[in-house]
């Protein structure tokens, strides 16, 4: 209880948690039904939906490079966070008056403008805000997973009524996204953390990495191991979860509106569970280690995709979806800690955005369109078998390729609870 009280007295933790809560609420109120909106409201085909996701991923890569390299130079200055919040605030006007009309009447132009807008406000901004929060956690002495859990909670709160709102009028979802974006912008401008005491070993002016140091990370063989692992695990999981699963789940019900309502409630329950797991995974990580957490994450990922490929009953599929609540914290927190353990922690934003977010978007760019057509050709569940097989192979390869926690430590060392106990006893 004393630890919790101390945490809630940490102004940086409160600011970071609130930012993530508001951002994910702004995203979750519409993103969880984005593919459904493209399909049901706009009438796009599987191939066209794949094109939207693929081109979005391509431009997201460029914006992530920009965000990562600039933010590592800025440290904890909020210029980019304010920029992304301002873009979020303009969501509804952009979608209603620009994006939707163009997708329906000039598809190519709609895809292009959407692929410019969405990364700056959401698809690349998520990596920026997560990396910014992780840097704050190390600077001001709080557990990143506990702050990130509030982001999942925000997504869950938003998703709770999303399905009901969507069936009334999808434009309401986008207006609510803008309202949350305005709130996020105000938080970045007016909520300062300059007075918060720094964690031991941190200074108010940490080393700022040079552009040469940032570019040099791409020459590291060990980073390319991480990139390959992410592309063939997390990327394929997102193809399944974002591009295909919402429409697949909706189709399990005789009445599509009931499917939408049920999916909205289920999505919200799952994200609430995810928020709890975000706060518990750091505790588990201290018991079993970083590498083990990542391998557990890819195992749960594979089981969920395989479950969707095998079962047809909506109740069982709903249970299988809940695996997402376990998999996301295991994978995201594991990959973040792996990067700050085996690489220079001063480059955390660049490493996370390039090693995780960018590599995932590269995979989406390459695979979203062909897998959209594969789904059109053979159906959802046969496609899920293919995706599950790819993820399983990535997990087996990662078992041999990922470094152990005490191997080649170039960043912040990781100490398990058992090691702390042993040190204290000595």
SS3 state at 9: coil
Mean pLDDT confidence for 192-214 = 66
Q: Please give the span between the terminal C-alpha atoms of the chain, in angstroms, as a whole number.
A: 28
Tokens, residue 208 = 């700022």
Which of 273, 275, 195 has its CA nearest to residue 21? 275
Percent of the chain with pLDDT over 90: 36
pTM: 0.75
Place of tokens 């995979």: 363
Question: What is the C-alpha to C-alpha distance for residues 385 and 285, in angstroms, rounded to an integer?
Answer: 30
Could you tell me if 88 and 187 are in contact, meaning their C-beta atoms sit under 8 angstroms apart? no
Could you tell me if 78 and 68 are in contact, meaning their C-beta atoms sit under 8 angstroms apart? no
Residue 423 clears pLDDT 70, i.e. is over it: no
Question: What is the C-alpha to C-alpha distance for residues 154 and 176, in angstroms, rounded to an integer?
Answer: 13
Could you tell me if 51 and 111 are in contact, meaning their C-beta atoms sit under 8 angstroms apart? yes
Most confident by average pLDDT, 1-10, 35-44, 213-222:
35-44
Show Cβ contacts of residue 391 under 8 Å, excluding neighbours closer than 6 positions: 232, 233, 236, 237, 298, 301, 302, 305
Q: How confident is the model at residue 320 (pLDDT cuts 50, 70, 90)?
A: very high
Question: What is the C-alpha to C-alpha distance for residues 91 and 122, in angstroms, rounded to an integer?
Answer: 10
Could you tell me if 321 and 270 are in contact, meaning their C-beta atoms sit under 8 angstroms apart? yes
Encode burial over 76-92: b for 16+ CB neighbours within 10 A, e otherwise.
bebebbebbbbbbbbbb
Show Cβ contacts of residue 258 under 8 Å, excluding neighbours closer than 6 positions: none
Question: What is the C-alpha to C-alpha distance for residues 118 and 273, in angstroms, rounded to an integer?
Answer: 27
**Longest C-alpha distance within the chain, in Å?**
72
Between 146-155, 210-219, 252-261, the lowest mean confidence (pLDDT) is in 210-219
Query: DSSP letter at 198?
Result: P
Q: How confident is the model at residue 424 (pLDDT cuts 50, 70, 90)?
A: very low
SS3 state at 78: coil
The per-residue pLDDT of the chain, averaged, comes to 85
Q: How high is the pLDDT of residue 208? A: 57
Please list the helix, strand and coil fractions of the chain in percent, rounded to the nearest 5, in that order. Answer: 85, 0, 15
Could you tell me if 330 and 283 are in contact, meaning their C-beta atoms sit under 8 angstroms apart? no
Residue predicted with more confidence, 157 or 423:
157
Question: What is the C-alpha to C-alpha distance for residues 166 and 116, in angstroms, rounded to an integer?
Answer: 25
Alpha helical stretches, state H, 208-358: 211-216, 221-230, 236-238, 245-250, 256-288, 290-310, 314-321, 324-342, 348-352
Give the H or E element holding residue 116.
helix 107-118
């Amino acid at each position: 209880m004393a630890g919790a009280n101390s945490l809630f007295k940490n102004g940086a933790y409160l600011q970071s948690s609130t930012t993530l809560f508001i951002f994910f609420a702004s995203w979750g109120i519409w993103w969880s039904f984005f593919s459904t909106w493209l399909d049901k409201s706009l009438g796009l085909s599987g191939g066209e939906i794949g094109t939207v996701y693929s081109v979005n991923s391509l431009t997201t890569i460029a914006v992530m490079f920009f965000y990562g390299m600039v933010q590592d130079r800025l440290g904890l200055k909020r210029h980019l966070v304010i920029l992304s919040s301002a873009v979020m605030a303009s969501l509804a006007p952009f979608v209603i008056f620009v994006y939707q009309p163009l997708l329906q009447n000039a598809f190519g132009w709609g895809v292009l403008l959407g692929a410019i807008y969405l990364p700056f406000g959401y698809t690349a901004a998520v990596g920026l805000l997560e990396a910014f929060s992780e840097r704050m956690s190390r600077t001001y002495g709080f557990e990143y997973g506990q702050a990130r859990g509030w982001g999942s909670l925000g997504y869950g709160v938003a998703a709770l009524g999303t399905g009901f709102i969507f069936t009334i009028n999808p434009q309401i979802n986008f207006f609510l996204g803008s309202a949350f974006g305005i709130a996020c912008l105000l938080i970045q401008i007016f909520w300062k953390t300059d007075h918060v005491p720094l964690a031991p070993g941190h200074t108010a002016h940490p080393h700022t990495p040079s552009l040469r140091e940032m570019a040099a990370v791409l020459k590291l063989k060990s980073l390319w191991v991480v990139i390959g692992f992410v592309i063939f695990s997390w990327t394929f999981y997102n193809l399944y979860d974002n591009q295909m699963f919402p429409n697949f789940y909706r189709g399990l019900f005789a009445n599509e509106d009931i499917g939408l309502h049920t999916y909205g409630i289920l999505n919200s329950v799952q994200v609430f569970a995810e928020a709890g797991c975000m706060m518990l995974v750091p505790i588990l990580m201290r018991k079993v280690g970083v590498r083990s957490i990542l391998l557990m994450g890819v195992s749960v990922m594979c089981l969920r995709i395989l479950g969707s490929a095998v079962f047809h009953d909506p109740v069982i599929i709903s249970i299988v979806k809940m695996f997402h609540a376990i998999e996301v914290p295991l994978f995201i927190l594991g990959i973040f800690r792996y990067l700050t353990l085996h690489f220079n922690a001063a480059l955390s934003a660049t490493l996370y955005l390039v090693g995780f977010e960018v590599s995932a978007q590269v995979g989406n760019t390459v695979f979203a369109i062909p897998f959209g057509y594969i789904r059109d050709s053979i159906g959802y569940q046969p496609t899920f078998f293919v995706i599950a097989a790819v993820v399983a192979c990535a997990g087996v390869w990662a078992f041999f390729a990922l470094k152990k926690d005490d191997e080649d430590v170039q960043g912040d060392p990781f100490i398990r609870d058992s090691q702390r106990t042993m040190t204290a006893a000595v």
